């Protein structure tokens, strides 16, 4: 399936909540475009999701729904691999080996850890601290050249690069040093309830995000309530008009146009008219994805086959890397001279 002349991309997404339009515009939509030009590997990272508490039955349902939503968005199983992280044990195993080559100091600097640990009080899981090393393992197992993610993951991709370079230096060249890829628009969609904060699928305020599963009336209502400002004019200014600028960015993503084009279309509208336009554009963009999602969820055996076949293919690539690393580290090689 993979073409030797093409570079490799890998990306992951957590089944920590139903996907939002930020996950779609910031990540999944880019994957769909990139899969034509790269050997593409996508992973529903369930091991990452349990770094914060999850209800087992909910995690199980969400994991399969997340996979279906990725396929419904246009990931083509003929071109790309899509599997659950927990199906390929090499992810956990390489994570341990990399843990022993990573430093507490560099991990303690991770802003996502600092932000997420605040919410956990005195029950912060060790896994939450270790999250970026598992992410490095995900990436490095597949000789990944490019990692398409949203802006919030820059620091984690940088850490994966540092871990790869250090390992290559301490042992001998082993890992490909990956590069981050950030889409032009939509790489940082903000919360509708607080445009100072990024839109996040695990936000406790359901008005903060639009889910990819949300029906048209819910979408229209959430946009109606979106926080803006006390002016009346629609124009783009990321400093002064965070709420409106975020809506313009969402509109441009949903319509597939640039922000200046979106601004030109919407200038002169009242805030109420503008919000209605954004809602309609988003609902129109999600409509066909929701139809495909329902169809995929109604054929579980076919969906499971895609995930299992992909996991088999991923496992064979990942195990090769893992064996190479174990050998370099000095684990005993049976049958060697």
Phi-psi region of 42 (alpha: psi -120 to 50; beta: other; left: phi over 0): beta
Q: Which is nearer to ligand LTN, 30 or 246 (CB)?
A: 30
What values do phi and psi take at 146, rounded to 5?
-135, 135
At closest approach, how far in Å is the CB of 54 from ligand ATP?
10
Stretch (H or E) spanning 96: helix 90-99
Nearest to 79 by CA among 137, 191, 148, 1: 1
Find the distance separating the first CA and the last CA of the chain, reported in whole Å.
Answer: 36
Q: Rounded to an integer, what distance in angstroms lies between the CA atom of residue 5 and that of residue 120?
A: 45
Stretch (H or E) spanning 8: strand 8-13
| Residue 72 in the binding site for ligand LTN (CB under 6 A) | no
| Residue 132 in the binding site for ligand ATP (CB under 6 A) | no
Q: Which is nearer to ligand LTN, 176 or 262 (CB)?
A: 176
Site string for ligand LTN, 28-67 (x = CB under 6 A): -----------------x--x-------------------
Catalytic annotation present for 116: yes
- Residue 189 near which of ligand ATP, ligand LTN, none (CB within 5-8 Å, type-dependent): ligand ATP
At closest approach, how far in Å is the CB of 126 from ligand LTN?
17
| From 7, 79, 116, 255, active-site residue | 116
Residues 208, 192: contact at Cβ < 8 Å?
Answer: yes
Task: Calculate the dihedral angle through the C-alpha atoms of 146, 149, 152, 156, rounding to the nearest 10 degrees.
Answer: -40
- Residue 248 near which of ligand LTN, ligand ATP, none (CB within 5-8 Å, type-dependent): none
Residues 314, 88: contact at Cβ < 8 Å?
Answer: yes
Q: Which is nearer to ligand ATP, 16 or 310 (CB)?
A: 16
Stretch that binds ligand ATP, among 16-24, 87-95, 213-221, 272-280 (CB under 6 A): 16-24
At closest approach, how far in Å is the CB of 80 from ligand ATP?
15
Nearest to 323 by CA among 309, 334, 311: 334
State CA 251 to chain mean position distance. Answer: 20
Give all strands (DSSP E) within 60-128, no chain letters.
Answer: 80-84
Question: Residues with Cβ < 8 Å from 55, sequence gap 6 or more?
Answer: none
| Residue 11 in the binding site for ligand LTN (CB under 6 A) | yes
At closest approach, how far in Å is the CB of 48 from ligand LTN?
5
| Residue 13 in the binding site for ligand ATP (CB under 6 A) | yes
State CA 152 to chain mean position distance. Answer: 10
| Residue 318 in the binding site for ligand LTN (CB under 6 A) | no
- Candidate residues 14, 40, 54, 252; the one interacting with ligand ATP per rule CB under 6 A: 14
Catalytic residues: 116, 198, 201
The binding site for ligand ATP (CB under 6 A) comprises 13-14, 16-17, 20, 22-23, 26-27, 149-150, 152-153, 186-189, 198-202
The binding site for ligand LTN (CB under 6 A) comprises 10-14, 45, 48, 135, 138-139, 147, 149, 153, 156
């Amino acid at each position: 399936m993979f073409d030797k002349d093409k570079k490799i991309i890998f990306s992951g997404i957590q089944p920590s909540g139903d996907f939002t339009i930020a996950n779609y515009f910031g990540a999944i939509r880019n994957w769909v475009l990139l899969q034509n030009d790269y050997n593409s590997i996508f992973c529903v990272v369930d091991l990452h999701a349990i770094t914060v508490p999850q209800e087992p039955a909910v995690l199980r349902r969400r994991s399969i729904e997340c996979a279906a939503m990725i396929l419904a968005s246009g990931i083509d199983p003929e071109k790309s691999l899509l599997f659950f992280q927990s199906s390929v044990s090499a992810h956990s195993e390489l994570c341990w080996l990399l843990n022993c080559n990573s430093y507490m100091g560099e991990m303690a600097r991770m802003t996502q850890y600092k932000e997420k640990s605040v919410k956990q009080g005195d029950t912060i899981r060790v896994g939450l601290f270790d999250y970026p090393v598992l992410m490095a393992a995900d990436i490095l197992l597949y000789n990944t050249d490019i990692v398409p993610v949203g802006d919030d993951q820059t620091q984690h991709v940088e850490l994966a690069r540092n871990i790869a370079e250090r390992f290559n230096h301490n042992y001998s060249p082993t890992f490909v040093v990956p590069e981050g890829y950030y889409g032009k628009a939509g790489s940082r969609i903000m919360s509708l309830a607080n445009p100072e904060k990024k839109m996040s699928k695990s936000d406790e305020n359901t008005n903060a995000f639009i889910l990819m599963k949300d029906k048209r009336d819910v979408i229209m209502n959430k946009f109606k309530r979106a926080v803006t400002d006390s002016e009346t004019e629609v124009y783009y200014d990321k400093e002064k008009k965070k709420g409106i600028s975020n809506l313009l960015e969402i509109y441009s993503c949903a319509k597939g146009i640039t922000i200046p084009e979106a601004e030109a279309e919407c200038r002169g509208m009242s805030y109420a008219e503008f919000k209605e336009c954004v809602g309609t554009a988003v609902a129109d963009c999600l409509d066909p994805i929701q139809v495909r999602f329902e169809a995929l969820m109604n054929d579980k055996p076919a969906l499971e086959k895609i995930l299992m076949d992909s996991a088999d293919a991923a496992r064979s690539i990942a195990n090769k890397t893992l064996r190479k690393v174990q050998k370099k580290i000095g684990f005993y090689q049976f049958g060697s001279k």
